[in-house]
Amino acid sequence: MDLLTFRNVWVEYGDKVVLENVDLSIKQGSFVSIVGPSGAGKSTFLRLALGQEAPTKGAIDLDGRKLRAEPGPDRGVVFQKYSVFPHLSARDNVVFGLDCAGSMFRGRLSGARRRAALEQADAMLAAVGLGDSGDVYPAQLSGGMQQRLAIAQALIKKPRILLLDEPFGALDPGVRLDMHELITGLWREHGLTIMMVTHDIKEAFKLGTRVLAFDKRRRDPQAPHRYGSTAVYDFPLDKPGAVGPEALAGLGD
């Protein structure tokens, strides 16, 4: 089933075309990796899905309904940095989503409901391997642990789709491998739908069930800004005969 559909989407800033004619849909349960050179509109594409930006032309549907151009609880997100709240302990960071849903005015649950929410948060922290770190502030966590926390925080809202914007870009190679395992495990277990922007083509092919490569289809040497990027390659990896990272060897140079 198609979860998220981009229908003939264009994004323009003034006379600069960033994305042109993006026309694709994302199936529920898929893990879509998005690659492409810098400035190819990968992040803009993700911001569209997030609702941080509205398309200039075209339409985006989530679950068959028009997507509101505003971030909402049906779409979770993890950024490369600044995804967690520095003033809340790890546990409070995870409970935040439940606090907001359960307490309109105070933005904070209390009593038995708070205890139930904390239990749920602790389970989620344990699921991302932060079972012992509930009471510490993010600044005391390593980069990898902060990203684990950001994932737990997003997953507690059970989003329809999880958007990852270069989530492992700032991590050490070893930690990155651990995170690959974690995110693949969570994806299978929770039946998530994931869209991940990455610079690392190997990572894209390793994790994804589908790889979208963004780049410009046409170039105008006199006015390079007049042509936008689009998904120039779309590789399904979950079928026999799928290609590997070498298929994108020439991208973006």
Partner 1 sequence: MRRLLNVRPRGGLSVLLGLVPLLAVALVYLMASQARHAENPRDKLLPTPTAMVEAVQMMARVDPLTGDAPLVVDTVASLRRIGTALGISTALALVLGLSLGLLPLLRAKFGPLVAAIAVVPPIAILPILFIVFGLGETAKIALIVIGITPVMVRDLAAQVGAIPEEQLVKAQTLGASTWQLALRVALPQAMPRLIDSLRLSLCPAWVYLISAEAIAADVGLGYRIFLVRRYLSMDIILPYVVWISILAVAMDVALKLVSRRFYPWAHPARGR
User: Mask 142-171, x = binds partner 1 (CB under 8 A)?
Assistant: --------x--xx--x-x------------
Q: Which of 101, 116, 126, 223 binds partner 1 (CB under 8 A)?
A: 101
State the minimum distance, in angstroms, from the CB of residue 92 to partner 1: 9
Is 109 near partner 1 (CB under 8 A)? no
Q: Is 13 in the site for partner 1 (CB under 8 A)?
A: no
CB of 73 to partner 1, least distance (A): 4
* Shortest distance, position 146 Cβ to partner 1, whole Å: 12
Considering just the CA atoms, what is the radius of gyration of the chain in Å? 19
Among 77, 149, 192, 213, binds partner 1 (CB under 8 A): 77
Q: Does 121 interact with partner 1 (rule: CB under 8 A)?
A: no
Candidates 31, 96, 168, 235; binder of partner 1 (CB under 8 A) is: 96
| Residues in 49-68 that interact with partner 1 by CB under 8 A | 50, 52
Residue closer to partner 1 by CB (options 33, 93) is 93
Q: Report in angstroms how near the CB of residue 183 gets to partner 1 at its nearest.
A: 17
What is the smallest separation between the CB atom of 240 and partner 1, expressed in angstroms?
36
Tell me: does residue 72 bind partner 1 (CB under 8 A): yes
What residues have CB less than 8 Å from 51, skipping those under 6 apart? 67, 68, 69, 70, 71, 72, 75
CB neighbours of 28 closer than 8 A, spacing ≥ 6? Answer: 1, 2, 3, 193
Pick 155 or 237: Cβ nearer partner 1: 155
193-252 residues near partner 1, rule: CB under 8 A? none
Choose one: 3-11, 101-109, 170-178, 238-246; the region binding partner 1 (CB under 8 A): 101-109
- Asked whether 22 and 230 are in contact (CB, 8 A), the reply is yes
Spatial distance between the Cα atoms of 162 and 49, rounded to a whole number of angstroms: 10
- Crossing angle for the helix pair 111-127 and 143-155, to the nearest 10 degrees: 130
Nearer to partner 1, 81 or 206 (CB): 81
Instruction: Calculate ∠ Cα 98-146-101, nearest 5°.
Output: 10
With a CB cutoff of 8 Å and minimum separation 6, the contacts of 170 are 80, 81, 143
Q: Yes or no: say if 35 and 43 are a contact pair by the CB < 8 Å rule.
A: no
| Tokens standing for residue 219 | 């170039």
Please list, residue by residue across 97-124, b when 16 or more beta carbons sit within 10 angstroms of its beta carbon and e when fewer do. bbbeebeeeeeebeeeebeebbeebbeb
DSSP code of residue 175: H
What is the binding site for partner 1 (CB under 8 A)? 50, 52, 70-73, 75-77, 79, 81-88, 96-97, 99-101, 104-108, 137, 139, 150, 153-154, 157, 159
